[in-house]
Structure 1
Amino acid sequence: MADPTPVIDDLRAESEDLDRLVAASDPDRWRLATPAPRWTIAHQIAHLAWTDHSALLAVTDAEAFQGLVEGALKAPETFVDDGADAGAALAPEELLGRWREGRTALDRALRAAPAGARFPWYGPPMSTASMATGRLMETWAHGQDVADALGVEREPTDRLRHVVRIGVRARDFAFGARGITPPAGEFRLELRSPSGDVWTYGPGDAPQRVTGSALDFCLLVTQRAHRADLALDAVGPDADRWLDIAQAFAGPPGEGRAPKGATA
């Protein structure tokens, strides 16, 4: 059984990086629009605070978390936006404080979770490591929206390996979410990490493969950039199709981002 501590540590570091970015911004800039329709920087942080709270309840109070699930089922199309709207209405300093308190409580709960524990979630149950990995992916992805709104280019880190792993594991889900039968065989992935190493996944002799930048792969599977703007190459028809539909998140397919320079 893998020790979840490294990914919990990386989640903390990813959150702290984003915290420094928003804490250094003028409060008025929290109202800047991000690439997500209708969402400001405040919405992005509010969503992270809201989801961290959901994760905390899943880890510490399954009955209370079930109440959140029941609420989501009553408003499946709006519950995420409703949560973001409520948080975004707060003053920036109050919202920032809530996010800090919530993620600190989640950090403690994940570290205290018993070995082998599994927690309820909006999809399949999650292990401690999976819960931390999912929170890191969301923190990184929504942090990218914040950076885009501020016009900041973030320095990528090897924490992206966690996002890559989710994207790889979610391959068949991405096909199934669009009503497409997943390919029978595995793909080979060879992705260049921020530190210069090459991360590999799948059999070395797989006939279909994806190569390129790990950062660009993460931008693709979190739908933070259009494939046309990324340095990723596919060999094989199924691998090529996957790069058009890849997603690392649960739920229905997103609309994704338009290519740079595209007009509405």
Structure 2
Amino acid sequence: MNAVLEGVLADLSAEGDALEKLVAPLDEQGWRTPTPAEGWDIATTIAHLAWTDVAAIAAGTDKEAWDALVMKGFEDPLGFVDAEAFREAEKPGAEIFAWWKDGRPALVTMLREFPEGQKLPWFGPPMSPASMATARFMETWAHSLDVYDALGLRYEPTDRIRHVAHLGVRTRNFSFGVHELEPPAEEFRIDLVAPSGEVWSYGPEDAAQTLTGSAYDFCLLVTQRRHRDDLDLVANGADVDRWLDVAQAFAGPSGAGREASA
């Protein structure tokens, strides 16, 4: 048994369960509630999660279906995934919900049973099952925040967000590259306070540039769910400060982000 993978899968399931409880009572009008993501309602959000889960399952189990997805993606590399979400969101909310609900455990099973040491093909670099599970957690978590915001509800963070924080740290150089900036040569020291009060630290203790703050706010930053001005993150160093402007833990082009609350 892969303990790391099992840990991520358990947290992915728990985060999905929380979102499932949130959207299960919605009527059709509720499914059409706009989220803070421009042009996206709750139906689009859940359809996107469901579609991506199904795509991941195809990548791991059905070469013919996966190849067909890749060929379709070549027609519109930058807009393909969003277009699929909007297309699927035209279905009734109850149908979208059932599709997503059925796909969640199927994804977990596929990742658990995928041959150890092998990687799944993906739209970017191939991914190990643990990396895929982490990416699915990050996206499930980030889109959950959009649903909470759409419904005017408060999200209570847990230490499950460690997966997002870890991904946010690992994608530092990628974030600079997306903006055609040279990544800093030196590592940063990053100290984040988890929801439990534990401190999660990354990088050398004697690093010249540092970042401190709450892990939750860092996760909000790297998923572009809040503007940096609304977060408690403290950057010490010019490169760290620039990172806060470009950070993203997700693949693909950078979005517009969210406006500051002021």
TM-score, normalising length from structure 1?
Answer: 0.96
Inter-partner Cα distance in structure 2 for 1:252 and 1:2: 32
Question: What is residue 168 of structure 1 aligned with on the other side?
Answer: 169
Question: What is residue 194 of structure 1 aligned with on the other side?
Answer: 195
Question: What is residue 242 of structure 1 aligned with on the other side?
Answer: 243
Question: What is residue 92 of structure 1 aligned with on the other side?
Answer: 93
Question: What is residue 21 of structure 1 aligned with on the other side?
Answer: 22
Inter-partner Cα distance in structure 2 for 1:238 and 1:166: 19
Structure 2 residue 37 is matched with structure 1 residue 30: no
Inter-partner Cα distance in structure 2 for 1:224 and 1:62: 34
Inter-partner Cα distance in structure 2 for 1:25 and 1:195: 31
Question: What is residue 128 of structure 1 aligned with on the other side?
Answer: 129
Q: Does structure 2 conserve the Cα–Cα contact (< 8 Å) formed by 1:62 and 1:120?
A: no
Structure 2 unaligned segments of length 5 or more: list them. none
Q: Does structure 1 conserve the Cα–Cα contact (< 8 Å) formed by 2:120 and 2:126?
A: yes
Question: What is residue 258 of structure 2 aligned with on the other side?
Answer: 257
Q: Does structure 2 conserve the Cα–Cα contact (< 8 Å) formed by 1:188 and 1:209?
A: yes
Report how far residue 103 of structure 1 moved. 1.3
Aligned-partner residue type, residue 17 of structure 1: A
Aligned-partner residue type, residue 133 of structure 1: T
Report how far residue 2 of structure 1 moved. 6.0
Inter-partner Cα distance in structure 1 for 2:64 and 2:118: 16
**Comparing 41-50 and 3-12, the one that deviates more:** 3-12
Inter-partner Cα distance in structure 2 for 1:82 and 1:92: 17
Deviations 1:186-221 (Å, cap 9, x if unpaired)? 001100001110000001111111100100000000
Aligned-partner residue type, residue 182 of structure 1: P
Structure 2 residue 135 is matched with structure 1 residue 117: no
Question: What is residue 54 of structure 2 aligned with on the other side?
Answer: 53
Question: What is residue 68 of structure 1 aligned with on the other side?
Answer: 69
Inter-partner Cα distance in structure 1 for 2:176 and 2:230: 22
Question: What is residue 102 of structure 1 aligned with on the other side?
Answer: 103
- Count of residues in Structure 1 that have an aligned counterpart in Structure 2: 261
Structure 1 unaligned segments of length 5 or more: list them. none
Deviations 1:158-190 (Å, cap 9, x if unpaired)? 110000111100000000111101000000110
TM-score, normalising length from structure 2?
Answer: 0.97
Structure 2 counterpart SS, 1:212: strand
Structure 2 counterpart SS, 1:132: helix
**Comparing 86-95 and 42-51, the one that deviates more:** 86-95
Inter-partner Cα distance in structure 1 for 2:254 and 2:50: 23
Structure 2 counterpart SS, 1:234: strand
Aligned-partner residue type, residue 141 of structure 2: W
Structure 1 counterpart SS, 2:149: helix
CA RMSD of aligned residues (A): 1.2
Identity %: 56
Q: Does structure 1 conserve the Cα–Cα contact (< 8 Å) formed by 2:27 and 2:93?
A: no
Report how far residue 76 of structure 1 moved. 2.1
Report how far residue 152 of structure 1 moved. 0.7
